Amino acid sequence: MSQFDVVVIGAGPGGYIAAIRAAQLGFKTACIDAGVNKAGDAPALGGTCLNVGCIPSKALLQSSEHFHAAKHDFAEHGITVGSVKFDAAKMIERKDAIVTKLTGGIKFLFQKNKVESLFGKGSLKGRNGDLWQVEVDDKGKKTIIEAKHVIIATGSIPRPLPLIEIDNVNVLDNEGALNLTKVPKKLGVIGSGVIGLEMGSVWKRVGSEVIILEALPTFLAAADQQIAKEAFKVFTKEQGLVIELGVKLNEIKNSKKGVTVSYEVDGQAKEETFDKLIVSIGRIPNTEGLNAEAVGLEKDERGFIKVDAECHTNLPNVWAIGDVVRGPMLAHKASDEGVAVAERIAGQKPHLDFNTIPFVIYTDPEIAWVGKTEEQLKAEGIEYKKGTSGFGANGRALGLGKAKGTVKVLACAKTDRVLGVHMIGPMVSELVAEGVMSMEFSASSEDIARIVHAHPTLSEVLHEAALAVDKRALHG
């Protein structure tokens, strides 16, 4: 029976990073994962993020943005193109190639760091003295390994919608939405979160009529509402997405003619028939097959594995990270938790601050933020001051042809310490890192304002917003 210092269950962005860091720290490490490639004929590491989530969606977003630019934006640059054609199958082929390259990269990293990769589903079987016995089920072929420490990193799965079953033919989850080889004439999306907005944007740009149905009355309720309202205006009035808020779903029927959704908005009955329907109403923790109940692994009322601030579960030497535990369901949060747990096993004292984890939505314009929103500060009674600046007068943004958007900096009214940074605009997924860095080092808005920012760059808009906190903006 093979014995390890650390066994990780799950090779997503939390699990594979945890395994690599554990191996770097000198632990004999194995990582168990049952993921397979798109064809279903070979193992594929990387979890949802690399295979059917973060990475492939960004590839499709970029392809659709290029197509849209060729049709609508090149002319103002003096570039004349002929008839622009779109090949959805080719777009999917490119996306698949990127996924294959990155999942293969994890295999290489495992080999480089001497992490043993085990294919199959992992489950806890109980204790053998000081060691945990973990079963690896490879399509019915079962083996038992033992480990001093177990890190559970099994991620999350799409939240089901009781009204309809996902078939990934007409009714799609994130995986199905990433593999359409033809542009649907009319596309419905249930849920206006990250997945709904990103996939809706992709298929809208390449020719679909897109209608997004959201149960909540507020658009992007987790985001700063000044930024959310600006985003809603851009997506609906300028880009043509139809976004219905406060939707009550009544019935969904899947037939040969399409998917018919009956719903209400403000008491008014409506009905739409779509060629394809994407269901993106969030995700739930994936604990199926872990044998949690049998070994006494505690979960909360929402199905998340209970952990303390350091990711310990209630079981000795069993840890859990990523989407399967509390906190934001973000790949980078999972990765950092994985590093932290490996280092804690080694006796180190790593630090992870949930208040400085950035959020990003990769629409066009992008949306990103870190820290408290203005609404949260008001609700918590925290006195604050704010500064805003737009991309409209930024030379770099104008040169890019992407001069829409706003940056907002929120700072403590008494200490000037940065409490939150919120953005909508070009490449703010990159710019938000400066806000994260500022908050991690307890910077003030004046610190950002005093730092020399290169000209012309998009980062000057953040600089200007920091200046505006102290009412000394130079370009606004």
Q: Say if residue 193 carries a ligand binding annotation.
A: yes
Structure token pair of residue 74: 């090149």
Is 155 a known ligand-binding residue?
yes
Is the separation of the CB atoms in 45 and 19 below 8 Å? no
Q: Are 187 and 212 in contact (CB under 8 A)?
A: no
The answer to whether 330 is annotated as binding is yes
Binding site annotation covers 329?
A: yes
154 assigned binding-site residue: yes
Distance of alpha carbon 459 from its chain centroid, rounded? Answer: 23
Catalytic residue among 66, 351, 422, 455: 455
Nearest to 63 by CA among 84, 37, 38: 84
The reply, when asked if residue 271 is annotated as ligand binding, is: no
58 is in an annotated binding site: yes
Locate tokens 């016995």: which residue? 133
Find out whether 242 and 212 touch, Cβ atoms under 8 Å.
yes
442 among annotated binding-site residues: no
Question: Rounded to an integer, what distance in angstroms lies between the CA atom of residue 381 and that of residue 322?
Answer: 31
One-letter amino acid identity for 431?
Answer: L
Tell whether 194 is in a known binding site. yes
Q: Which residues contact 245 (CB under 8 A, 6 or more apart)?
A: 192, 214, 216, 217, 218, 219, 265
Q: Which residues contact 15 (CB under 8 A, 6 or more apart)?
A: 8, 9, 31, 33, 47, 151, 153, 154, 155, 321, 322, 334, 338
Q: Is 422 annotated as a binding residue?
A: no
Per the structure block, which two tokens stand in for 469? 């906190």
- Structural contact between residues 288 and 295, judged by C-beta atoms closer than 8 angstroms: no
Residue 47 known to bind ligand = no
Residue 129, marked binder: no
Residue 156 labelled as part of a binding site: yes
Q: Is 331 annotated as a binding residue?
A: yes
455 is catalytic: yes
Structure tokens belonging to residue 192? 């206006």
Block residue for tokens 């269901």: 279
Residue ranges for the binding site?
58, 122, 154-156, 191-198, 214, 282, 323, 329-332
- Any idea which residues carry the catalytic annotation? 455
Residue ranges for the binding site for NAD(+)?
191-198, 214, 282
Residue ranges for the binding site for FAD?
58, 122, 154-156, 323, 329-332
